Structure 1
């Protein structure tokens, strides 16, 4: 019989560990402005294509920046550039710029992750960002060493909403997928979790609302800070 007791948690990164708007709206505005090279009309066009509201300085629901890979973002923007670089060059530029994103943790991460590790839970990160920037972000906020597994879209396991990253975490941790909880802020995250056969929890520190996440989640929490109480209620 499969052991279904929870023994691992895999987190999305952006919008889950880090508040999405406070982190990535600022990044998007700066990156699109640099890409437009001082052309206001081009900046407005690129903002529209990327789903960025420059007046409100916010990313809009449905923005490609929310859940897609850097390669997908580059493919969307490339046709609108007057002198487009190679796709690989634009992807590299996105990844390089992402290294300097102004990270805003959704909650104090170290004490939360230490609590979860203290419960004997293996911890992982599955992101549609590249693995290099993901590791840099976790390092810059002092929590890289809390994770047993980190995968980006370029780590060889595919990207969400496919379940490959999540299944790779379960395999690396020696767990059955039913022993793992997927925590994320977007439908991509929760669809991936369900496809992997995992329990799912949605959080509201991304762009999606509770009504968007509830049909795909076992619970929807304001942020990941609510996980210990949720686990306590489950006897974990």
Structure 2
């Protein structure tokens, strides 16, 4: 499967849990999987980061790699500058992913925040790293009001860089979806021009790892290795 870049339409929308689900499904199929986090912000040394959390949920055989860590919860370039630390640029990300890909069947590169969050002071972004890799970009979106605009902006930014979105996954589908969330299941593919290829239930990251791994295929469409069906899911809401 090579490399998949996982980007969100913003922060705190479920990128890490979606990445973990992808890793779990791949590992269950016998693939060697690695999760790469180019820049982890907002955590002190020793605290488990997003890559390690994804690996914990996905299984003990999943490799977790973090390139840099900055203590303040800011954009990576700002956090690095304030901490007096070296930034991680798109080429660093691409080289790390390519190296992991020589030893793994699937490498998942999880961004920080949205697609165009700056990694370095030269303006490099996750989109630039995806371009260097020639990798598909999976867009993780929120469920509710406002997500249509944010998701369309993200997919338009990808296409403006000659990158095609792999599809859209709702990162945290509510247990009691409101009208906007239910309508968005139909509208997201239309406005974004990308297929809806998954929905992860809210709170999934809090499940026990064994339960998470068993359930993960039911959250992702066949293109991602799962059994989730957009039409059936939408009809059920």
Specify the TM-score bucket, using the shorter chain as the normaliser.
0.3 to 0.5
Which structure's residues are more often helix, by fraction?
Answer: 1
The structure whose Rg is larger is 1
TM-score normalised per structure 1: 0.39
Which structure's residues are more often strand, by fraction?
Answer: 2
